[in-house]
Amino acid sequence: MKKRFSKKQLILFVGAILGAFIVRFLLIHLPGYERDIFWFKEWCFGAVNYGVTGIYANMWSDYPPGYFYILKLISSVYKIFYPTLLEGTYFLQFLLKLPAILADLGTATLIFFLIKEKYKFKIAYLAMLAYAFNPAIFINSAWWGQVDSIMVFVLLFSVSLLLKKKIKWSYILLAIACLIKIQAIIFIPLILFITWRQKGLKAVIQGISSAMATVFVVLLPFIIKGNLQSVINVYLGAANSYPFASMHAHNLWWLITNAQGTSISDQMNLLGLGTYKTIGFFLFFLCYAILLVYFRKKDWNKHRQDFYFGFAFLALCFFILFTQMHERYIFPFFAFMILAFKNGYAKKVAYVIISLISVGTLLSSLSIAYPENTPTVAQFFELSPIITIIFSIINLIIFIYLLIIVLKNINKKTLLIILGIVMIITGGTYLKNKHSRLDLTELSPIKSSQDWGTLHINKSVENNRLIVDKFIYFKGLGVHSNSEHQYHLNKKFKYFETDFGLDNESFCNNNARFIILGDNKILYDSGIIKHQSPKHIKVLVKDINILSLITQDGGDGIDCDHTDWLNPVLIP
């Protein structure tokens, strides 16, 4: 029987894995991104005090439930040594960072064996080193303390099994990846499409059944405890968890916002075509459609590296085109891109450049957030806005280059059809936005604040029907004094028209005041308004960028000030 390794090769392999672990071990003591570490500790102890199913009910969390089981294991081990669950120990920090570190090593090992199936030891070994010793990878797991690498390992394992036609296990791991990190969901349609094209509908049904069974087993404790809705809320709320153009991801939106992505809402309007968020969705799903066409005639036996490249490209699309992106959401790109290394020298260069940019971005984020805990070497990487813009441009150029590679593999006729559809949708959207009235309720505010309750759309602040005096409204904004809600008009409208008044749901002889601002200038001030029939106002908003709707108490305190903006519309 042929040996899998020679003695020398075995020493090299074990030495590389051990060396990669030592590098990470030396970074574990660093505090990392304290907010993330803090919540991992809280959820870890919460898993002991309340059980995995009780975390959502007793503390804040925006993580899916899969990772809670890992934290439960960590807390069980930690409790053996520290029965009182003492905080602030090195051992706890070690345990919290260990799963991600092991996932790094697991991914590197998986990359090695996947490449060695068809290539020599040297090629597989160099690819493993390129991942295991990528500074962006070990900074994220061993220094920062994030767990993206766990999702990457499980996801890569899933895709590798898919390409080996082990459908059931592939989908089980896909489900686990989605239960650990929500971002893994973007790969589901691609995996479904590949399964259907290569193995048929029966295999898709088999895979979906396996995934659903896995999800059911993981969520069964939540179902039994009646906490399933909390899990659902985490997934439904993910799209609006960080409603900004970019969360330090140097992508398209960081460039468009001139390096101000963390302070600019993704509800801002771009050239009358829609909000940043809507346009990001559109561009992403357009690229997704192009990618599916790219895969249409690929055979997973003959073009395996093309499949890995497709997954890498999809990860980059997600990072570049979506709003709300964190700097860490690029990480699936690295594992898949290494497996596509044979498809051109330029792809290797792209891997190196994006890795270096990610290193600078991660160290800059750490230095800006926690300068007192960050070594001097990291503070050197605290990036100026102009540098981050340059990074965004480089990332965008690489994205466009990889997109061209995909497009070259698509039939010209198909490509023309796709471009035609894009032009029709873009033109139609522009004309619709230019010439039609727009209900303000269809827009999300870029800034929202009020002294009691939250903004309700088409409902009163207490979630009832909008009623002022004897008049019933089906559209409007239910707010409470004192409040301010800002909307980005992008100078695309001529008039703003609305009714307003105090809602019937809270009547105690109170007064309120309604004010409309345009770019911080008063366009209308109602003066003191009592409980009475709704009033109507139409104001000129031509050349106005930011519209602010403000309600204030009428000098008698905010109690009972349930105020409504009724049938608010923007007119071109």
For residue range 472-516, list pLDDT tens digits in order.
888 899 999 999 999 998 888 899 999 899 998 887 778 899 999
CATH class of 438-571: mainly beta
Query: How confident is the model over 197-215, as a mean pLDDT?
Result: 94
pLDDT in tens, 511-543: 899 999 999 999 999 999 888 878 888 899 999
pLDDT at 254: 95
CA distances, 543 to each of 34, 241, 333, 489 (Å): 43, 31, 42, 9
Query: How confident is the model over 162-180, as a mean pLDDT?
Result: 96
The highest-confidence range among 149-153, 449-453, 534-538, 567-571, by mean pLDDT, is 149-153
Asked whether residue 555 carries a pLDDT value surpassing 90, the answer given is: no
pLDDT in tens, 320-331: 999 999 999 999
pLDDT band at 178 (very low <50, low <70, confident <90, very high): very high
pTM: 0.80
Position with higher pLDDT, 114 vs 424: 114
Kindly report the length of the chain.
572
High-pLDDT (> 70) share of the chain, %: 95
Query: How confident is the model over 153-172, as a mean pLDDT?
Result: 95
pLDDT at 435: 61
Position with higher pLDDT, 268 vs 161: 161
Q: For residue 526, which phi and psi values (nearest 5 degrees)?
A: -75, -20
pLDDT at 242: 80
CA distances, 560 to each of 302, 481, 534 (Å): 70, 9, 17
Q: Where are the domains of the chain?
A: 1-190+203-240, 242-435, 438-571
pLDDT at 272: 63
Asked whether residue 348 carries a pLDDT value surpassing 50, the answer given is: yes
Asked whether residue 225 carries a pLDDT value surpassing 50, the answer given is: yes
Asked whether residue 1 carries a pLDDT value surpassing 60, the answer given is: no
pLDDT at 265: 76
Q: Which residues lie closer than 8 Å to 449 by C-beta, 6 or more apart?
A: 483, 484, 485
pLDDT at 231: 93
pLDDT at 380: 61
User: Which residue intervals of 238-331 are DSSP H helices?
Assistant: 252-256, 276-295, 304-321
pLDDT at 2: 46
Query: How confident is the model over 28-41, as a mean pLDDT?
Result: 91
pLDDT band at 362 (very low <50, low <70, confident <90, very high): very high
Beta-ladder partners of 194: none
- C-alpha span between 506 and 468 (Å, rounded): 10
pLDDT in tens, 237-266: 887 778 788 999 999 999 998 888 887 778
CB 256 within 8 A of CB 245: yes
CB 36 within 8 A of CB 146: yes
pLDDT band at 432 (very low <50, low <70, confident <90, very high): low
pLDDT in tens, 265-284: 787 767 667 778 889 999 99
CA distances, 434 to each of 265, 267, 275 (Å): 22, 17, 14
pLDDT at 431: 65
Burial 213-246 (b: 16+ CB within 10 A, else e): ebbeebbebbeeeebbebbeebeeeeeeebbbbb
CB 476 within 8 A of CB 458: yes
Query: How confident is the model over 133-155, as a mean pLDDT?
Result: 97
pLDDT at 92: 94
Query: How confident is the model over 72-87, as a mean pLDDT?
Result: 90
Q: For residue 468, which phi and psi values (nearest 5 degrees)?
A: -120, 120
